[in-house]
């Protein structure tokens, strides 16, 4: 049985659906209650705060793997309060998830982020690239990786897989994501404006593809560190063009002089290990999101 933490979140729910499609037994864990759509479909659901789990709590004896997705995603600005919150929700929750593992858990899959890599590193970013987080979020994800490695040293029986995931988009995505800023600008009949050069390249992967990749990571990867992304970068100019074509009333995109930084992953190691190939192209995914948001407005 697979334990999925952060199971009520955007990515957690998508991974659960993928696992259920594949006939896998799943147990969810989240600080939030189980979504009604999963009623009767999961082995169990633990509504607990992993940053301070109940005394003596451990995962069920028939569980063999933990996919750790729980945590807070983004920090808009640095402050003592936001830093402490991220440390609690990302690092402390990871320590809690590890502490509840007993000998029956043979695999622990920690989902980290592209945010742990330095802005100075060459693109595409490989797993051996420089680690130098540029946000508190990235710092806490890196600390989570270190905590997992220390746990592995003390618990030789467990297989550790670390996933450095690119930006995921799809239903439930954080609205400060650049794709959604542009979509909402266009739908408000405003000129599409981004504070970067249109040639800047980024890495985005659609929600269902990310869920499929994580499912493969759980069951197919040997222990190690893997980048997961689309496998091909897209320029911000191309993203704006796709949105402009999907919403004909929007004005010609405008990009400010601040050049910005290319940031996209080399996913060769993961694709060679699993034969993973994304199904949803950037064009299809962005158009799907435009259509969905129009219907929701």
76, pLDDT greater than 60? no
Six-digit token pair at 130?
């420089």
| Interval 104-118 mean pLDDT | 96
Residue intervals of the chain classified under CATH 3.40.50.720 are: 2-165
Burial class (CB in 10 A: 0-12, 13-18, 19+), 191: exposed
**pLDDT at residue 85, as a whole number:** 85
The CATH homologous superfamily for domain 169-202+232-267+280-296 is UDP-galactose 4-epimerase, domain 1 (3.90.25.10)
Closest C-alpha among 135, 117, 134 to residue 126: 117
Residue intervals of the chain classified under CATH 3.90.25.10 are: 169-202+232-267+280-296
**pLDDT at residue 198, as a whole number:** 83
Instruction: Name the band, by pLDDT with cuts 50, 70 and 90, for residue 178.
Output: confident
**pLDDT at residue 77, as a whole number:** 66
**pLDDT at residue 75, as a whole number:** 60
Report the percent of the chain where pLDDT is more than 70: 95
Exposure letters 24-47 (e unless 16+ CB within 10 A, then b): eebbbbbbeebbeebeeebeebbe
Instruction: Name the band, by pLDDT with cuts 50, 70 and 90, for residue 244.
Output: confident
183, pLDDT greater than 70? yes
Instruction: Answer whether the bond into residue 124 is a cis peptide, omega within 30°.
Output: yes
Fold of 2-165: Rossmann fold (3.40.50)
| Interval 42-55 mean pLDDT | 94
159, pLDDT greater than 90? yes
Instruction: Name the band, by pLDDT with cuts 50, 70 and 90, for residue 100.
Output: very high
The whole-chain average pLDDT of the chain stands at 91
Q: Return the higher-pLDDT residue of 204 and 72.
A: 204
Backbone torsion region of residue 205, taken as left when φ is above 0, otherwise alpha when ψ lies between -120 and 50, otherwise beta: beta
Per-residue pLDDT tens digits for 250-292: 666 777 766 778 999 999 999 999 999 999 999 999 999 999 9
**pLDDT at residue 199, as a whole number:** 87
């Amino acid at each position: 049985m697979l334990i999925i933490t952060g199971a009520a979140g955007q990515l957690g729910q998508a991974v659960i659906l993928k696992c259920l499609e594949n006939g896998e037994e799943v147990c969810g864990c989240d600080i939030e209650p189980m979504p009604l759509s999963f009623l009767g479909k999961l082995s169990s659901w633990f509504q607990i705060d992993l940053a301070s789990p109940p005394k003596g709590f451990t995962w069920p004896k028939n569980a063999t793997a933990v996919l750790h997705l729980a945590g807070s995603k983004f920090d808009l600005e640095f402050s003592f309060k936001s830093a402490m919150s991220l440390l609690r929700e990302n690092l402390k929750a990871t320590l809690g998830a590890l502490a509840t593992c007993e000998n029956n858990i043979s695999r622990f899959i920690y989902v980290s982020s592209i945010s742990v890599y330095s802005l100075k590193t060459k693109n595409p970013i490989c797993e051996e690239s420089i680690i130098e987080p540029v946000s508190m979020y990235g710092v806490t994800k890196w600390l989570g990786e270190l905590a997992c490695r220390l746990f592995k040293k003390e618990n030789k029986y467990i297989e550790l897989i670390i996933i450095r995931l690119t930006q995921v988009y799809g239903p439930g995505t954080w609205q400060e994501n650049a794709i959604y800023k542009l979509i909402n600008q266009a739908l408000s009949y405003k000129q599409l404006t981004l504070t970067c050069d249109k040639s800047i390249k980024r890495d985005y992967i659609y929600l269902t593809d990310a869920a499929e990749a994580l499912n493969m990571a759980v069951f197919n990867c040997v222990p190690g560190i893997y980048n997961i992304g689309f496998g091909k970068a897209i320029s911000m100019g191309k993203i704006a063009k796709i949105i402009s074509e999907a919403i004909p009333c929007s004005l010609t995109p405008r990009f400010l002089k601040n050049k910005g930084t290319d940031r996209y992953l080399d996913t060769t190691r993961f694709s060679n290990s699993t034969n993973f190939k994304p199904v949803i192209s950037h064009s299809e995914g962005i158009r799907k999101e435009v259509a969905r948001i129009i219907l929701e407005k």
